[in-house]
Chain A
């Protein structure tokens, strides 16, 4: 058992499952947006759609899914390439900086989406 404290859920199985569920949510959300855009909506109907409670919850769900999906995916990329094996001791420092920066950015994005939706 390899221990990890910076992965999204600390569990490989849980991360794997979350990544698949969030990808389905994101697919559904972007298909919904694409379907609406193909219908050629004007600004008023586009705004009205995003002011419905259902769409606001769907948008927040998509933003949370994107954050979880990106955290898991980028964490895997960082632990592949930004490692002591690949870059020497500075790999450890660089990896932690990137992990921290990614998590902070994702939290900011989610809070920003909340502000846009209900602010």
Chain B
């Protein structure tokens, strides 16, 4: 029997958040954490609230704090996370809770918006498409795969303390994705917006982001590349 403990908070009725325990029979199966949540919602308490969509690690909706580590509920098997028969599920840390496991991601998206996550090219658009060599295209590997689940940024203490000023690992990974793109010509404008004590340099390289990324990406490495670009530009 699995003891599942879920963070509960309904601001309309609860004065403060609390943990609610459920006993759950896995019937010997190695379920995903999302399967457990779905079963509890369907069979025990329909009021348990969380986000989910694709249930296969593509949409990034069900980022949660599972037994103390951020991850996607839909691709985290119980065998990987459960120890001593306990499963503790909390919302992503550092963001305001709307209800139960649902957080307000406005701060996260505001930082993503800051880095202007779209191609900028001042030359006239070609008839069909802007071409790229295979070598230039390969520079985007490890960057474009981010699904914006926010597991990385919400595991970063610098983002917890300064979510309005530090762009965070997810935003910075995407910032480098466009800095590294041979088709983007706004490199100077992009870099000039990052040379302050907070936007990039609040990263102290502790690599919590690398540790939790469900897609196996490395935001710390991308941040290192941005630092090098800023250094090369200014020295």
The reply to whether the CB of A7 lies closer than 8 angstroms to some CB of chain B is: yes
Among the stretches B176-184, B191-199, B212-220, the one at the interface with A is B191-199
CB pair A2–B196 under 8 Å, yes or no, is: yes
Enumerate B191-234 residues with CB–CB distance to A below 8 Å.
192-202, 227, 230-231, 234
In terms of DSSP, what is the predominant structure of the interface of chain A? helix
CB pair B198–A4 under 8 Å, yes or no, is: yes
Q: Could you say which residues of chain B place their CB within 8 Å of the CB of A13?
A: 195, 201, 227, 230-231, 234
Of A2, A81, A86, which contacts B198 at CB under 8 A? A2
Of A1, A7, A80, A86, which contacts B195 at CB under 8 A? A1
The reply to whether the CB of B155 lies closer than 8 angstroms to some CB of chain A is: no
Cβ distance A99 to chain B, nearest Cβ, rounded Å: 13
Chain A residue with the shortest CB-CB distance to B160: A80
Write out, one digit per residue, whether chain A residues 63-88 have a CB within 8 A of any chain B CB (1) or not (0).
00000000000011001110101100
CB pair A12–B161 under 8 Å, yes or no, is: no
Write out, one digit per residue, whether chain A residues 1-36 have a CB within 8 A of any chain B CB (1) or not (0).
111100100111111110000000000000000000
The reply to whether the CB of B55 lies closer than 8 angstroms to some CB of chain A is: no
Cβ distance B25 to chain A, nearest Cβ, rounded Å: 43
Of B157, B161, B196, B202, which contacts A1 at CB under 8 A? B196
The reply to whether the CB of B53 lies closer than 8 angstroms to some CB of chain A is: no
Chain B residue with the shortest CB-CB distance to A12: B201
Chain A residue with the shortest CB-CB distance to B234: A13
Q: A1-B192, A16-B227, A17-B231 are in contact. Are A11 and B162 (CB under 8 A)?
A: no
In the bound complex, CA of A13 to CA of B200 (Å): 9
Of B157, B165, B227, B231, which contacts A2 at CB under 8 A? B165
Q: Other CB < 8 Å A-B pairs besides A12-B200, A13-B195, 15 of them?
A: A1-B194, A1-B195, A1-B199, A2-B199, A10-B197, A12-B196, A12-B197, A13-B227, A15-B197, A75-B197, A76-B197, A76-B202, A79-B162, A83-B161, A85-B164
Q: List 18 A-B contacts (CB under 8 A).
A: A1-B193, A2-B197, A2-B198, A10-B197, A11-B195, A12-B197, A12-B199, A13-B234, A15-B197, A16-B201, A17-B235, A76-B197, A80-B161, A80-B162, A81-B161, A83-B161, A85-B161, A85-B164
